[in-house]
């Protein structure tokens, strides 16, 4: 599964179609994973070619992997915690992402 540098899991939203469909209350519950300043990098087992960003309405750059915008879940409080895998909310399903870019169902 994909994790950020702090060890928090990253989720994808099935309602997204290249760009984020998660704003307002959705983005409060599922905060977008924003690109850090500088160059994006990947950890062991991930493909740099699948890592990119997409611009949100506010101009911030959200990290994508295999074309899917990535998010945290507000309820995940410690590194490695996965509380909302395969959860239907805000008109789509929230799933963790494999290093291949495929969603875990």
Convert the pLDDT of each residue in 30-67 to its tens digit: 999 998 776 777 888 899 899 999 999 999 999 999 99
Query: For all residues of the chain together, what is the average pLDDT?
Result: 94
pLDDT tier at 21, thresholds 50, 70, 90: very high
Higher pLDDT among residues 5 and 24, named by residue: 24
CA angle 84, 74, 5 (to 5 degrees): 90
Predicted confidence at residue 18, as pLDDT, reads: 86
Beta-ladder partners of 11: 71, 96
Phi-psi sector, 83: left (phi>0), alpha (psi -120 to 50), beta: alpha
Which secondary-structure segment (H or E) carries 89?
Answer: strand 87-89
Predicted confidence at residue 43, as pLDDT, reads: 82
Q: Contact, 91 vs 15, CB < 8 A?
A: yes
Which secondary-structure segment (H or E) carries 65?
Answer: strand 61-65
Predicted confidence at residue 45, as pLDDT, reads: 86
Task: Name residues whose C-beta falls within 8 Å of residue 85's C-beta, 6 or more positions apart in sequence.
Answer: 11, 94, 95, 96, 104
Sign of CA dihedral 31, 76, 94, 9: positive
Say what the pTM is: 0.94
């Amino acid at each position: 599964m994909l994790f950020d540098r702090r060890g928090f899991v990253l989720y994808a939203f099935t309602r997204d179609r290249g760009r984020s469909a998660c704003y307002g209350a959705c983005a409060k519950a599922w905060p977008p994973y924003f690109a850090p300043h500088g160059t994006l990098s990947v950890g062991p087992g991930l493909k740099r070619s699948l890592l990119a960003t997409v611009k949100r309405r506010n101009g911030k750059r959200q990290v994508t992997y295999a074309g899917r915008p990535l998010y945290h879940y507000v309820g995940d409080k410690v590194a490695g915690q996965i509380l909302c895998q395969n959860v239907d909310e805000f008109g789509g399903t929230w799933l963790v992402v494999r290093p291949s870019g495929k969603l875990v169902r």
